[in-house]
Amino acid sequence: MKVIHLHIAVHHREPNPNPIRDALQSLPGSGSVQVTIETDAGVNGSGEVGFGRIGGAPDVLAALIEQELKPLVLYTDPAYVRATHTAMVQETEYHGTFGLATFGIAAIDTALWDCLGKALEVPCWQLWGGAQTRIPAYAMVGWLNYSIGHLQEICEQAVSQGFRGVKIKVGSPTLRKDIGRIKAVRAVIGDDIDLMVDANQSLTTAEAIRRGRAFQDLNCTWWEEPIAADDVDGYATLVQALDIPIATGENLYTRMDFARFLRRDAVDIIQPDLRRAGGPTAMLQIGTLADAFRRTYASHGGGPVQLNVMACLPNAVYLETGLLGPDSPFKLEDGCVPIPQGPGFAWS
């Protein structure tokens, strides 16, 4: 089987006039780039990466894929997906295998695995070997621009849908304000639902320790991205200073960043992002590496690619997703999402 075409589709999205917001930035949305790989066997695979902001980013990424990555993929055999992944990492090294380079690698890597699964008519987790049949799920619903009333309403809705946990944004101007939001949510979800807090890199290490002590006293489940994502020294300090587990990883790039954090004992729960990690090939490596360090894996975002990866990791503990809508491709079973059974990354 050989790749004979690689199609790039840029999907632009009108920015949301009322964007969601975390402690770092507003996220009006700006579209996505979808890669479709066509083979001489008549089997196709696709991979898509989205952008929460930066209007021009999808067009810039499309150019990077067209000019730098596509030539490395054409006429290769999708069965050698890991070789192609290595070639793409090497090719982008000159300007840095970070940022848009890993977004492009992720889209192509996803498309190649999808293609391979479809050619063999099995889900990708079966290609890799399964470890779990379903993954507990929590709902990321508590954006920082929501009023207390709306925050309570949406968290209550998540619990009524069967989620085992909810996550809210913190990093308000004052700790007192953060505590008020956490207490308001706890009042409506009860004591048995997990409550995660996420500051999106907004604090100093000293402030993250001060707030982390308050959050652990409020029985929060984990303390996510309290400080700048690249501050490995700061994260190592937080892991030492606090009892609450420290979660990070959605803004780390490639397995090398994760290796640095794991070696320094600077993270308790890793959260690789499909786009920044560099696709399923990298996410599997990162998850396995964390398992060797006895650290757990929670997804950043929830979709069929994340679920297929987590199905193969014994240390995968929690899937992040939003509220279930009428078109949701899965139903929760006992607070868990069943692993997709469709070929490649198809849901069914």
Active site residue 169: yes
In angstroms, the CA 307 to CA 347 distance is 10
The count of chain residues that interact with Mg ion, using the rule CB under 5 A, is 1
Please give the DSSP secondary-structure letter assigned to residue 290: H
Does 22 sit near Mg ion (CB under 5 A)? Answer: no
| CB closest to Mg ion, residue no | 198
- The least distance separating Mg ion from the CB of residue 4, rounded to whole angstroms, comes to 39
From 13-21, 88-96, 142-150, 191-199, give the range in contact with Mg ion by CB under 5 A: 191-199
* 45 vs 142 by CB, closer to Mg ion: 142
Residue 62 or 266 with smaller CB distance to Mg ion: 266
In this structure, the number of other CB atoms found within 10 A of the CB of residue 121 comes to: 11
| Tokens of residue 273, six digits | 């992002």
For Mg ion, the closer of residues 117 and 272 by Cβ is 272
Of 82-90, 168-176, 193-201, 329-337, which part binds Mg ion (CB under 5 A)? 193-201
CA–CA dist 211, 52 (Å, integer)? 27
For Mg ion, the closer of residues 197 and 339 by Cβ is 197
- Please tell me which residue in 70, 85, 118, 169 is annotated as part of the active site: 169
Alpha helices in the chain (DSSP H): 57-64, 70-73, 81-92, 100-120, 124-128, 148-160, 175-189, 205-217, 232-241, 254-263, 274-277, 280-292, 304-311
Provide the minimum distance between the beta carbon of 248 and Mg ion in the complex, in angstroms, as a whole number.
Answer: 8
- The DSSP bridge pattern shows strands 44-51 and 31-39 to be antiparallel
Residue 269 CB, shortest distance to Mg ion, in Å, is 11
CB closer to Mg ion, 70 vs 275: 275
Note if 300 is an active site residue: yes
Q: Closest separation between CB of residue 225 and Mg ion, Å?
A: 5
Cα–Cα dist 152/158, whole Å: 10
- Least distance to Mg ion, CB of residue 274, Å: 14
Confirm if 333 and 112 have CB atoms less than 8 A apart: no
The residue annotated as part of the active site, out of 11, 70, 300, 331, is 300
Distance CA 115, CA 124 (A): 9
Hunting for tokens 């909810």 — which residue is that?
166
Q: State residue 75 phi and psi, 5-degree precision.
A: 70, 15
Stretch that binds Mg ion, among 126-134, 176-184, 198-206, 312-320 (CB under 5 A): 198-206
**DSSP states of 44-112:** EEEEEEEESS-TTHHHHHHHHIIIIIHHHHTT--GGGHHHHHHHHHHHHTTT-SSTHHHHHHHHHHHHH
Min dist CB 227 to Mg ion, Å, is: 13
Ramachandran quadrant class, 300 (left: phi over 0; alpha: psi -120 to 50; beta: rest): beta
Pick one of 198, 231, 273, 320: the residue that binds Mg ion (CB under 5 A).
Answer: 198
Q: Which is nearer to Mg ion, 198 or 231 (CB)?
A: 198
Angle at 26 between CA 22 and CA 27, to 5 degrees: 100
Active site residues: 169, 300
List contacts with Mg ion (CB under 5 A): 198
